[in-house]
Amino acid sequence: MTYVAKPLSTLKYLAALAALPQNEATAMPPDMYHSPKIAKRERKHIFNQEWLCAGLSNTIPKAGDYLSYEIGDQSIIVIRQKDESVAAFANVCRHRMMTLLEGSGSCKNKRIMCPYHAWSYDINGSLKSAPQMQYRPNFDKKDYGLLPIRCEVWEGWVYVTLNNDAPAVTEQLAELQEVVADYQMANYVPIVQQEHIWNTNWKMLTENFMEGYHLPVTHRGTVGSHFPVDETEFSALPANPAFTYQLYTKKESAPVGNAHPDNRVLKGKQRRTSVLPTIFPSHMISLAPDHLWYLSLQPLGHDKVRIRYGAALAPEVLAASDDPDTLTKDVIKFLDQVNEEDRGVVEGIFKGSIGSLSSAGPLCWLERENHEFTQYIARRLCE
């Protein structure tokens, strides 16, 4: 069955497409990427409801270290606590709603100071100082602590959500935990965290990550020649509603992606195998035996996406290096090149799909996860 026209509404069309078997399906119709109404619905029914990845917990190793993150219009701060746990709060002063912290860094004296009127908060969120407010009748600092945001750490990843009823991350990702456990990615050492804005729809970038069909073409100069795509393996069916993943086994000639000789945990084929999970809606991990890189996406309307991108190395890789600084720079340069290759195609897809003659064609077997993503989007927007 091939869809070339939409006699139904976009969402009814999407639901019908999601109900098809993968070998009869296409990608989502262009309206799903170009409609501001769809983008608004996604914010309400997906991004305001789901767990979203703010980054690696190892990037905030000491008490008072923080990173900021946005869920739609809501700014959030994630802060390492004195007991080594991680907590999250609304990034807004309880006095005049000033943004408290920008980017990432470390709170001086383990205090969060409002830059407007110097209200001061402990890193646990409690209000410690409010200059001149002692003259206001019945003012009690206990009533004006920072508003907490649900926050969990899974395998070294920090997740936040605005939905107080969402099932725990550990519950949703229990099956994935079994797949990635041997890699011990919570011990990987972060080497870079960047933010970018690309001119595309967030779903197009997600779909690009989820399929290896483009690897030999888009990435022919970097990783493409080292991935025998015919050997791609997928997660078991039926698909998990919270995530999907695929396995790539690399050639021993690959410049990166194989286990270091000092890795004593991974065995056999696993030493050459990368796991690429997509944790719905917008967290993607490329987990190799010697390194990982990730994307966490925040849509900025329908036509732009903010990307939190980062990479980390397995600890034995850094420990064995005679020149870790040069090693780190070389890895970052290589991965930046891979990202730029992806940027060219996902911005090109967005531009090409605007035209009135554009329609999605049949999916290849290597794009199985794309159809699972369509089914996820349909569950969130159509039910």
Query: pLDDT of 82-108, one tens digit each?
Result: 999 999 999 999 999 999 999 999 999
Read off the tokens for 58: 């190892």
Among the residue ranges 24-33, 142-151, 194-203, 351-360, the one predicted with the least confidence is 351-360
Q: To 10 degrees, the CA torsion angle through 321, 324, 326, 328?
A: 110
pLDDT band at residue 50 using 50, 70 and 90 as cut-offs? very high
What confidence score (pLDDT) does residue 218 get?
A: 83
Residue 278 CB coordination number (10 Å): 24
Domains by residue range for the chain, with CATH: 10-50+169-382 (3.90.380.10), 52-161 (2.102.10.10)
What confidence score (pLDDT) does residue 246 get?
A: 95
Phi/psi at 39 (5° precision) = -60, -40
Query: pLDDT of 219-277, one tens digit each?
Result: 877 776 667 788 899 998 888 999 999 999 887 777 778 999 999 999 999 999 999 99
CA distance 241 to 375: 9
pLDDT band at residue 351 using 50, 70 and 90 as cut-offs? very high
Read off the tokens for 201: 């729809």
CA distance 319 to 99: 39
Read off the tokens for 341: 């290759």
Radius of gyration of the chain (CA): 22
Read off the tokens for 359: 């329609």
What confidence score (pLDDT) does residue 6 get?
A: 47
b (16+ CB within 10 A) / e for 281-295: bbbbbbbbbbbbbbb
Q: What is the mean pLDDT of residues 101-116?
A: 95
